[in-house]
Amino acid sequence: MPQYDLRSRVRDAPVIGTTILTGSPTLVEALAATPFEVLCMDLEHSATTIEQLEQLVRAADVHRTPALVRVPEVGHYISRVLDAGAAGIIVPRIETAAQAAEVVERARYAPEGKRGSGPGRGAAYGASLASPDYSAVTNASVLVAIQIESAEGVEAADEILATPGLDAVIIGPGDLALSLGVRMGSDEHWAAIDRVLSSAAAHGVGTGAFCFTVPDAQRYLASGARVILSGGDLNWAVSGAMSEWHAIQSLSTEAETAGTR
């Protein structure tokens, strides 16, 4: 199994990735061949199952691109996606320090956590478990990230981000705006985001965000963000289709205009 050491990579420099919603191994393999440095498989907002996820991670491995998986919530999905070979996790909607501590506990082997050891794909179907340093190497390489994306999470950011073992906090700008009852990109929205980013810096936790525009990505990178997840397979399919449609429509309009002269 490839060892991506995503945890160290994020500490050293920004990692630019994109999001996978469609659950297509073919599309994942194609995108893994692009310059994007990580692919985020989204299990929170898609119908992707654990069985499908394993195929997506395998497709990303073809081009040695690490798979970062956003799980639906704190719970058993954390260990299952890591067993499938994910290089890291993102856990959404964290609002308390207790939730953050549970995330770390489920994602790390002892003595840092309580993750169970099993013969999944991530452990080369059990072959890697024979190595005496397997758990330590895995703990050192797997990225553990959470999302703060609610008013409650922002209020508790200092307590949450003081949790030992957290590598990064990823901003969910859309849900945060909904929770705050403000427009995304408004002064109130950015003030809440900056509060989280400042808290993360104080606790030595990396930062990142799901970005909808290039200017947003630029702003996060300027703040020192380490994980930028920009665009995604479904977004690009729709925007590409619409761009093609409008281009052909303009040709039709030009032809009709020329025909009336």
pLDDT band at 51 (very low <50, low <70, confident <90, very high): very high
What's residue 35's pLDDT?
97
DSSP structural state of residue 91:
E
pLDDT band at 76, cuts 50/70/90? very high
Cα separation, 220 vs 211, in Å, equals 9
Q: What is the dihedral sign for C-alpha 255, 256, 257, 261?
A: positive
Q: Is 115 exposed, middle or buried (0-12, 13-18, 19+ CB in 10 A)?
A: buried
pLDDT at 174: 96
Q: Residue 67: in which H helix or E strand, if any?
A: strand 67-70
Q: What is the pTM of this model?
A: 0.94
In the chain, what are the domain boundaries?
A: 6-235
pLDDT in tens, 87-130: 999 999 999 999 999 999 999 999 999 999 999 999 999 999 98
In contact, 205 and 226? CB cutoff 8 Å: no
Helix, coil or strand: residue 182: coil
Is the pLDDT confidence value at 1 over 80? Answer: no
Mean pLDDT of the chain: 95
Annotated catalytic residues are: 45
> Is 3.40.50.410 the CATH classification of the domain at 6-235?
no
